[in-house]
Structure 1
Amino acid sequence: MTFSQDLRDENSDIFQAIFTHPFVQGIGKGNVPKEALEHYIKADFEYLNAFIQIYGMAISKSNDRRDMAFFNDQIQFVLHSEVHPHHNFCESIGVNYDELQGYALPPTADHYVKHMMYHAQTGTLAEIICALLPCPWTYLEIGKELMKTYKPADDHPFYKWIRFYADESVEKITTTMRNRLDELATEASIMEQKRMKEAFRKSCQLEWSFWEMAYTREEWPDAKLVGSR
């Protein structure tokens, strides 16, 4: 069994919790509260900006041009392709995409970004991939699960979103990252593999928390609320 398959097996509980989260199930049913969608888009726009920066940091730690080319391609993918799912959500609630950009990250998203930045700054290339991989991997499986369970047609409000993440382009990204991770894992020490597993699991947990953050419209505590205790 490969290292990446071990990671998937060890975190199957988190993957399953993500599939059954009410926000994710709401996408499948075509019924997510407008406020939750807005909160998600605001946070995800800034989160993906950070993702681009971390891809750049991964390039700086790459010695192989194959890795450099891959991460460069992923920067282009986020910039030019991953805006389409956001547009689908915006169209469904009648809000201009530009209106949902430039907001501060809520606590969970802020923690997620800093978690990935930590591994990008202090870890190896393998650790960076482990911190990044749960994002495309969980979204790929979400897309496939929703396609299988709900079989959305063209008139489904979130058909474009579901179809995008179930598509072969996201599967190719996930597979490429998994294969490269498996190669790097064979060269990693026991301690490095432990850090890789910890980075992967925490990112999986934060993926679930990101959906929860959006669904509950998590905000930073108000100054008056904090001061009243």
Structure 2
Amino acid sequence: MSLTDELWSAIEPIYAEILDHPFIGGLTDGTLPREAFRHFVIQDSHYLRDYARALALCAAKAPGEQDVRAFADDAIGALAAEQGMHAEFLTAFGETAEEAAAEPVLPTTRAYTSYLLATVYGGSFAEAVAAVLPCYWIYARVGEQLLAKSSPEPLYAKWISTYGDEAFQSVVRRVLALTDRLGEEISPAERRRMVEHFTTTTRYEWMFWDAAWRGEAWPV
């Protein structure tokens, strides 16, 4: 079994829960409350700044020049997405990027980014790749699933098209090919750690959408 097959097999039940989540359903039928989408956009802006740092660390740890360049480009792309696409969404809410940045980082976002950065800082290159992979792969699969349906709500249709289009899908295929190359080189113990990190951050992906749906806030 290839490493990517093993990883996906480990998270298939979680992915099914993601597709079945009312946040995702509300995107496609247009019924998602705008406040839930606003929550998502603002927390995603916070998340992407730390995700870009994680990708930059992947670049620093990559043994080959091609992978160094690829992850460095992806880090820049994550920041560009935060500044570009999210700015468009925030304008629709009558807010600025500065106002969004001043909003607190909420519990699920803090937990996800803390786990992500701790794993990428402290683990091997292979472990780092496993930790950042769900944000590529889950979004690509969700975007692919939803692209045919799109949404009657223009804001939601814009989000779906970003992650369902071929440009993003090709980036994800490149990371998946790297993951399978790593699977041929690493020890069984490191492979198990990759599965653990990948499964954990996939769970955080579900939690991230669920937090927006619930309107999560700090309890005290």
TM-score normalized by the length of structure 1: 0.88
1:166 aligned residue (164, 167, 170):
164
- Does the Cα contact within 8 Å between 1:38 and 1:100 map onto a contact in 2? no
Matched residue pairs, number? 220
In structure 1, what is the Cα distance between the partners aligned to 2:113 and 2:48?
9
- Does the Cα contact within 8 Å between 2:150 and 2:161 map onto a contact in 1? no
Correspondence for 1:219: 217
Correspondence for 1:48: 48
- Does the Cα contact within 8 Å between 2:19 and 2:142 map onto a contact in 1? yes
Deviation at 1:190, TM superposition (A): 1.1
Correspondence for 1:226: none
- Does the Cα contact within 8 Å between 1:108 and 1:210 map onto a contact in 2? yes
- Does the Cα contact within 8 Å between 1:39 and 1:217 map onto a contact in 2? yes
Correspondence for 2:178: 180
Cα pair distance change 1:54/1:71, threshold 3 Å = same
Correspondence for 1:227: none
Deviation at 1:134, TM superposition (A): 0.4
Consecutive unaligned residues of structure 1, counting only runs of 5 or more, are 223-229
- Where in structure 2 are the equivalents of 1:16-35 lying within 5 Å? 16-35=16-35
Larger Rg: 1
- Where in structure 2 are the equivalents of 1:129-140 lying within 5 Å? 129-140=129-140
Which residue identity lines up with residue 176 of structure 1 in the other structure?
R
In structure 2, what is the Cα distance between the partners aligned to 1:199 and 1:85?
28
Superposition CA RMSD, Å: 1.8
Which sits farther off after the overlay, 139-148 or 193-202? 139-148
Are 2:107 and 1:107 aligned? yes
SS of equivalent residue, structure 2 residue 181: helix
Which residue identity lines up with residue 184 of structure 1 in the other structure?
L
In structure 1, what is the Cα distance between the partners aligned to 2:6 and 2:94?
42
Which residue identity lines up with residue 103 of structure 1 in the other structure?
E
Correspondence for 2:189: 191
